[in-house]
Structure 1
Amino acid sequence: MKTKQLFTLFTALVTFTCFSQNTITVDNNPGITEVTNFVYANLQDAIDAAQNNDTLYIQASATSYGDVTVNKTLNIIGRSHSENNKISYIDNMDVTPNASNSYFSGLNFTDEISINNPLPVTDLVFENNYINHIGFSLSSGGINNCIIRGNVVRYLGESSSWDSPIQNGVLTNNIFLHDVNIAYPESVSLKNNIFFCYTGKILIVNESNNNTDLIIENSIILKMNSNAGSVSPYDGIQFKNCLTYNPNASVFDDLPGTGNLNNTNPQFENVTDDDFDASTDDYHLKAGSPAIGAGTDGEDIGLYNASGYLFNMFGITYGTPTVNITNITESVQEGQPLQVTITASSN
């Protein structure tokens, strides 16, 4: 990938708030009073009312904000994707080319992020989200110049998706729970991720037909159940300084590539099964882990590397304010003050 392209991508991360014009709160909890241009109960109404570069804060709610279409440049930020009782849910989100340069963080997408326009959507950033599926139709232009970082992703792309690629993409510090389909691998950086293998094989698929290998760096492939496991059977994939681990009797085949640690315990602080559990899992490496310093350029293998990005298990967006009620009087007499303790912080 060209240096200029990478610079453009990471500039998008640090500047998204600088160009924000207005801040809109979206809250579908009971008792919320809507205020035009400031507070909305319906997310699509808020999107429709917003101007390019506005920031929408999606409040935590037990009720999903439903299906939406994003057709302008917006910063859409939720409370978290997995913190107990503080999750911002969206079902299906359709992203159009007019949504280029948008930023999405702290959201739990229960259905699909659909990118189905014949023209590409450019300069998207997905960070700190739980994403059930990022999908493309075979006629779509896909994503060009994107960052997918710090997410938990169940499915990425579609089988036979070479006409709907991710081009000029940085996919790093993510947990991938199921199939990963990549096209145009010569322009995709895929490193410091964790890939789970639930069934017989982990399906990392290079959909390109131009004989260019997909390079996966500094990543960990896990299989925590007793089924026999092996890495993707597809050609065109090379692993560089990656690690495989299955604590059961069955073992992975050696990875194709160089510098890999095959069938080696990464020594996580706490990971016991195939289910992602934000409240109990801890993917930090223990002192003495063989993955420490074993990546390319002496980096650690796994989610936490020298990039400075800190993976957040709950999907809380750093730099955004959060308010928590830590203590509240259970009951008071009529006319008596209600004692509430509120803490506020910037993550």
Structure 2
Amino acid sequence: MNNSRLSQFSKTPTFSSSIKTLLKSSSVNLFLIFVPFGIVSKFAIWSDTTIFFLNFLALIPLTWLLYYVTKEISLNAASSVEWWLCNVFGNFGNLVEFITYTLMLHDGLVSVVQASIFGSILSDLLSVYGYSCFHGGSFYKEMKFNIFAGQTYTSFLMLIVSVIIIPTAYSATIINSDERTELDISRKMSIILLFIYIIYIYFRSQNHNKYYKGQSKAKSKTTLYVTIPVLILLTTIVTICANSLSKSIVGLAESWNISTKFIGLILIPNVGNASDYLNSIAHVRKNKMELSLDTSIGSSIRITSGIAPILVIIGWLINQPLTLYFEAFDMCMLLFSVWIVNYCLQDGRSNWLQGSMLLSSYAIIGTAIFFYPDKN
């Protein structure tokens, strides 16, 4: 009896073992070497290009660690806290995006924030999900998932896209539409989107065990005495690096002669989605495609119906005219992306060919955006 107690006690995570677990959680943590340079760049007289890419590389491991730490906290926390962390906040997987976009909005980069929101949706739908299908295809000839889960995702996506289309359709059909009216419509639509997000959270919590049978509660490898202070520290560092990245965007666009739309739609979203890439890959290697869907497409739903409307409301409070109005070209890309993902989810199966289709679609969109000029 005493030996079993000693054995159980010896398996309890310590401070040093918790730190080692966090640092060894992924090989992407090697990029932590860029974090000190990213912080220093705020005070150094470096070019905007250097500042942008130092903080870009620094945010990649920080995004992963923020997700991993929050997941560990949820494993140690009470069931109610775990529910909030997993269902409402998505294990803080989108926190880096939210912080970055809020800081850009504060700096007046409204068009870049719009492009980044849009880019995050496309990245999750086409790039993250596409790569998980392609990567999983190298391990399994075919991967199956719950067809009802796939249909649920596509139904929510179509509903959300329908709501987002309305401000664009209004502006296109009303000849004398003014920006003030578009802003009012977007703010009202944001409240509706948040209501849809609440419905999605409730439905997901009620049907999680039914749709995601492959997920079992793991045992935490860390202690709360380490993870909670680390979470606070990571959030602070992310804010510093995201702030420096935000302030270097315009200078990068001017020095490289590229549009801020390309930076916002392609570059920045892939920083925030770093944890989604790693998480999806881990799931497909274990042939748990439902969980990969939850990571990629679930994240796009959180961004569209959760983060985007909250940012519109924040812009309302700080007097920044962020709207849900997107150009016709943007809406064509979104409809195309949702359509092709819907096609891939119809039969409850995935393979490397579908992944190739989705990744190719993302590359096509990225190429078109690279040559897309800024309005100004």
TM-score interval w.r.t. the shorter chain?
A: under 0.3
* Higher strand content, 1 or 2: 1
What is the TM-score normalised by the length of structure 1?
0.23
Greater relative contact order (Cα 8 A, min sep 6): structure 1 or 2? Answer: 2
